[in-house]
Structure 1
Amino acid sequence: MSHAPTQRPDQTQIWNGPAGHAWVEAQSVLDEMFSAIAGYLTAQTQSLAAQRVLDVGCGAGGTSLQIAEATGSCIGVDVSEQLVALARERAEVTGAPACFIQDDAETHGFEPARFDLIVSRFGVMFFNDPKAAFANLLHATRPGGALRLVVWRSALENAFLTTAERAAEHMLPDLSRRKDGEVGPFAFADPDTVTPLLDAAGWRNVRFEAVDFPASFTLDSLELYMTRLGAVGLVYQALEPRLQTALIESLRKAYAPYESGGRIRFTAACWIISADAPGGVSV
């Protein structure tokens, strides 16, 4: 008996809808949470002496702005209109030499061989066709250019990210828990799956390095994090008030082990994926 293939969620619709709005609201929390990762990518850009950098899935521009301020320029690309609008506003306010493209990096018509370096902070796990996306990004990279991606390792190694889903499953039985390999945070968790994909797209010397980054945000921001981000956050607003109250109580208990010194602290178990564009001299 044959089964119809599982339909992938429309990422453009998601990121121009509830997820995009939520990330705009939580921009400061997300930047604070992932500051060590933005710092790492900025340092990589400097150590590689990359002058033309593309930040894929740039969101509200936190990493792009930091790279631009440190190196003199950066271009960010994201499918979300709301997030790109916020990124442009932040660049204008700060005067950072960054610019932003609102489009899907999988299909955008980038100038050929434009970039020295492609970076991403959790922005590449949502493509409809990852092989086509990375082939398009390679087309936009100069010969000998480089790829530096930070992605999540497995859900098991990142228990913090599924804390809300586990705490809420008895109240929200229809809520599906995010899994390794599926489009979403853990899509690139398995190097044995991702390496052939990047090879097939034309990248060379694909390497995976396991790195644990410290991540934290203020305890005052916990309710915003719980009610706006992740699988639970996306459905929270539609719940009846009584269920919202019960859910908040359950979630606060679940996150209590991560509280320390007025902050929520956890370890972001990541892969740093590195690869080279063929030809030329690698940066």
Structure 2
Amino acid sequence: MKSFAGRGDIALQPKKDASMTDAPSAPTDQAAYWNKTGGQAWGDLQDMMDALNRPIEEALVDRAFPGVGKQVLDIGCGAGATTLAMARRLGAEGLSLGVDISAPLIEIASGQAAPGARFVQADAQTYDFGGASFDAAMSRFGVMFFSDFDAAFANIRSGLKPGAELVFACWRSPADNPMAIIPGRAAAPYLPPSPPTDPLAPGRFAFADPERVRGILGRSGWSDVDITRLDAPTPITLDDLVTLSLRMGPVASALREADETTRGKVRDAVTTALEAEAVDGVVPMVAGCWLVTARA
């Protein structure tokens, strides 16, 4: 396996005794989703997603930047926006390595690669990063989906130099992000009942409780944990928010088996519910997040 110390091609090897997936309850769910419907949907909506998430990207990269020429690991890089933003800060002599489980998204990211940026399809929970060579690690909404949080964060720490910083953005509670739950409530009368959600299960809001995050990071060997509120204005047009609500997330999952009549009713209901939140065709959304930092 090649070392991360240089800027050549990256080759990662999975740990022999580890799972290759990061799903919550079924080991193949996350890999299957992000390599098929989830990855395809994100790829189709890439420009929208990049624009929507740019305020979080900017806050993350500003906080995680370790200096020109350094090496940064980007966990759950998706289509590569955060990895490329960091690469521009690091310069051509640095390395910004984006890691994601989704082959379709890594393909998109690799097509945009800039000097100092590299991408690899890998599960950060289980892959061998080749020793402690990174000066920092970061993640924008990519760390809440591991099947074993303690193991995942311990593995990420193994790739960082002693004293290197971890910085990630994660969602606070649904109550802090009402636009995430309004579409589901509007669609519910037209869809089969969904099972109760376990708030501790891997998923978008798994890290809503900051004390839980502190516990996970402490058990996996991190120190100097700091968790602060990040309220990022993320305005989005009504049409784009309707599209996003129907293409990704729980409503999209429930619609996969629905007939056209049901799809139409759900679209109408979601549109009506979100129209009530719009001002001149724009929903003035604010992303309610935590910005978490810790030391290896």
Q: TM-score scaled by structure 2?
A: 0.85
| Partner deviation per Cα, 1:222-263 (whole Å, 9 max, x = no partner) | 342122111112232432111111111100111113323443
| Corresponding residue of 2:186 | 167
Separation in structure 1 between the aligned mates of residue 254 and residue 295 of structure 2, nearest angstrom: 40
Aligned partner of 2:96: which letter? C
| Corresponding residue of 1:49 | 67
| Corresponding residue of 2:105 | 83
- Taking a change above 3 Å as real, the CA distance of residues 272 and 177 of structure 1, as seen in their structure-2 partners, is farther
1:62 aligned to 39, 62, 81, which one?
Answer: 81
| Corresponding residue of 1:242 | 261
- Taking a change above 3 Å as real, the CA distance of residues 261 and 49 of structure 1, as seen in their structure-2 partners, is farther
SS of 2:166's equivalent in the other structure is strand
Q: 1:11 Cα deviation (Å)?
A: 1.3
1:33-182 aligned within 5 A? 33-46=52-65, 48-49=66-67, 51-72=70-91, 73-91=95-113, 95-176=114-195, 180-182=199-201
Separation in structure 2 between the aligned mates of residue 146 and residue 20 of structure 1, nearest angstrom: 29
Are 2:226 and 1:207 equivalent residues in the alignment? yes
Higher helix share: 1
Are 2:45 and 1:23 equivalent residues in the alignment? no
Q: Verify the 8 A CA contact 1:213 1:268 in the aligned structure 2.
A: yes
- Taking a change above 3 Å as real, the CA distance of residues 80 and 204 of structure 1, as seen in their structure-2 partners, is same
Q: Verify the 8 A CA contact 2:234 2:284 in the aligned structure 1.
A: yes
Separation in structure 1 between the aligned mates of residue 128 and residue 203 of structure 2, nearest angstrom: 24
Q: Verify the 8 A CA contact 2:153 2:220 in the aligned structure 1.
A: yes
Are 2:276 and 1:257 equivalent residues in the alignment? yes
Aligned-residue RMSD, C-alpha? 1.8
User: How many matched pairs?
Assistant: 268
Separation in structure 1 between the aligned mates of residue 52 and residue 283 of structure 2, nearest angstrom: 9
Aligned partner of 1:224: which letter? T
- Taking a change above 3 Å as real, the CA distance of residues 232 and 96 of structure 1, as seen in their structure-2 partners, is farther
Q: Verify the 8 A CA contact 1:162 1:177 in the aligned structure 2.
A: no
Query: Is the deviation greater in 263-272 or in 32-41?
Result: 263-272
Q: 1:182 Cα deviation (Å)?
A: 2.1
Q: TM-score scaled by structure 1?
A: 0.89
Aligned partner of 1:80: which letter? S
State the identity %.
Answer: 35
- Taking a change above 3 Å as real, the CA distance of residues 178 and 83 of structure 1, as seen in their structure-2 partners, is farther
Q: 1:166 Cα deviation (Å)?
A: 1.0
- Taking a change above 3 Å as real, the CA distance of residues 252 and 243 of structure 1, as seen in their structure-2 partners, is same
Structure 2: stretches of 5+ with no match in the other structure: 1-23
Separation in structure 2 between the aligned mates of residue 183 and residue 77 of structure 1, nearest angstrom: 19
Separation in structure 2 between the aligned mates of residue 156 and residue 122 of structure 1, nearest angstrom: 17
Separation in structure 2 between the aligned mates of residue 258 and residue 114 of structure 1, nearest angstrom: 47
- Taking a change above 3 Å as real, the CA distance of residues 156 and 127 of structure 1, as seen in their structure-2 partners, is same
Are 2:214 and 1:192 equivalent residues in the alignment? no
Separation in structure 2 between the aligned mates of residue 28 and residue 223 of structure 1, nearest angstrom: 15
